[in-house]
Amino acid sequence: MTTDISADTKIFERRESQVRSYCRAFDAVFTRATGSTLYDTDGHAYTDFLSGCSSLNYGHNDPDMKAALIDHITEDGIAHALDMYTSPKAAFLETFERLILAPRGMDHKVMMTGPTGANAVESAIKLARKVTGRTNVISFTNGFHGMTLGALSLTGNSGKRGGAGVTLGDVTHLPFEGSLGDGVDTLAMIETMLGNDSSGIDAPAAIILELVQGEGGLNAASRTWVEGIARLAKQHGAMLIVDDIQAGIGRTGDFFSFDDMDIQPDMITLAKSLSGFGLPFALTLIRPELDIWKPAEHNGTFRGNTHAFVTAKTALEKFWADDAFKTQVAEKAKVLTQRLTRIADLIPGARLKGRGMMQGVDVGNGDLAAAICAEAFTRGLIIETSGAEDEVVKVLAPLTTPMDQFSEGLDTLEASARACLNAHVKIAAE
């Protein structure tokens, strides 16, 4: 492979844009990865509790997907075919239909968008506006939906928004559950605002939401709230778009984050772990009666990544043909809750956030959260923060992490938290 490359980072400093970011927290040059372990060029091993921000839910280089992909390439399988028909695409679609859609009674059509989540989001809001003839889209406080102009307009974070350099319009940002404090009924508030013809909130083409806000601080909406939002969307003629890019594909326990709720989204965006292997791949599911696109009305050179079709099909067959994986994830999530509760109990005012294998601890401020993650990295654990002020230490381990490695990783996290708290106490005492 790249044995000629030294571990130093000068080339990045010299030639890569300042916009790079994760590399600043994880000061190593990675070269190899399997399962839940990353290796750097010096041979150090790191447990991965970040998973490419939930893009590696099945871990790194899963052997079955790896074999299927090598086979495909070896046999000169198609790598790129725009949106022409290919046998890997057919295989993926049939598998997705058989293992995901059919068991759920879903008859959604699959739109192959560009290979990024942002592109799937852009396609969904385009279609919602086209279907309804309206322009306004409702999104939520702390929501994150991507960085292209349409997706960014839906995103709450002011730092991200500020990068646009232009006004981000045609969107109304309403408060997500819990964002106004525990006592405030945001659903009732939203219902009243949408019901008032003089609210200044134009009739919505769509309501787009994440059920667990991955970047926004692991805020998990309750079943009641989500079903309420779905009801309001229907009542006001708005498309309900679930952005399941980070929370979907097993992360919260089932394939979709809403599988245990009584809603039927009009559109669902998927990306990140969709390929199963970390390859760029995204799609938008749309109820068939909404599929009023004209050919190529939304397109993109890399729509439908053929290599990703191969790995995604393998992933579906391996993990979603029966309930075994789902059961394992549920067990691991229980452990996660227990262990994070213990960590939260160490920190005055801290609280558990999230759901399933998408949980974390709000430690109260970004400085402490950053310190814990930095400490963890020195101990060989890759983990990141989340939230409006980066105040949440977020565990996004591969769902396939072996229980002992998972447990060790959580030990490391707890030790890191204790170390930081001791340091804080010391500093305070001086």
Residues 24-43 that bind a second copy (CB under 8 A): 24, 26-34, 38, 41
Please give the torsion angle defined by the CA atoms of residues 306, 282, 46 and 402, in that order, rounded to the nearest 10 degrees: -90
Alpha-carbon distance of 119 to 235, in angstroms, equals: 28
Give the interface size with a second copy as a residue count (CB under 8 A). 160
Alpha-carbon distance of 342 to 346, in angstroms, equals: 7
Extended strands (E) in 271-380: 283-286, 351-355, 358-362
CB of 294 to a second copy, least distance (A): 7
Q: Is 298 in the site for a second copy (CB under 8 A)?
A: yes
Residues whose CB falls within 8 Å of the CB of residue 382, separated by 6 or more in sequence, listed in order = 26, 38, 46, 47, 48, 49, 50, 376
CB of 238 to a second copy, least distance (A): 13
Contact map string, positions 206 to 225, toward a second copy, x by CB under 8 A: ----------x---------
CB of 148 to a second copy, least distance (A): 4
Alpha-carbon distance of 257 to 270, in angstroms, equals: 11
Residues whose CB falls within 8 Å of the CB of residue 254, separated by 6 or more in sequence, listed in order = 260, 326
CB of 80 to a second copy, least distance (A): 3
Rule CB under 8 A: choose which of 64, 104, 164, 419 binds a second copy. Answer: 164
Q: Which parts of 365-404 interact with a second copy (CB under 8 A)? A: 388-389
CB of 413 to a second copy, least distance (A): 19
Rule CB under 8 A: choose which of 99, 100, 112, 333 binds a second copy. Answer: 112
For residue 47, the Cα-to-chain-centroid distance in whole angstroms is 19
CB of 32 to a second copy, least distance (A): 5
Token match 């322009």: residue? 135
Q: Closer CB to a second copy, residue 275 or residue 412?
A: 275
Binding segment toward a second copy, per CB under 8 A, in 190-198, 256-264, 325-333, 345-353 = 190-198
Rule CB under 8 A: choose which of 47, 57, 124, 150 binds a second copy. Answer: 150
128 burial class (0-12, 13-18, 19+ CB within 10 angstroms)?
A: buried
CB of 109 to a second copy, least distance (A): 5
Q: Closer CB to a second copy, residue 146 or residue 356?
A: 146
**267-270/239-243 β-pairing:** parallel
Region of 203 on the Ramachandran plot (φ > 0 left; ψ -120 to 50 alpha; else beta)? beta
Rule CB under 8 A: choose which of 97, 227, 317, 414 binds a second copy. Answer: 97
Rule CB under 8 A: choose which of 301, 322, 426, 430 binds a second copy. Answer: 301
- CB of 302 closer than 8 Å to CB of 81: no
At 168, which amino acid appears? L
Alpha-carbon distance of 277 to 135, in angstroms, equals: 36
Q: Is 328 in the site for a second copy (CB under 8 A)?
A: no
Binding segment toward a second copy, per CB under 8 A, in 294-302, 344-352, 394-402, 406-414 = 294-302
Angle at 58 between CA 53 and CA 62, to 5 degrees: 125
Binding segment toward a second copy, per CB under 8 A, in 155-163, 232-240, 357-365, 421-429 = 155-163
CB of 349 to a second copy, least distance (A): 18
Tokens of 19: 């916009």
Contact map string, positions 249 to 288, toward a second copy, x by CB under 8 A: ----------------------xx----xxxx---x-x--
Q: Is 177 in the site for a second copy (CB under 8 A)?
A: no
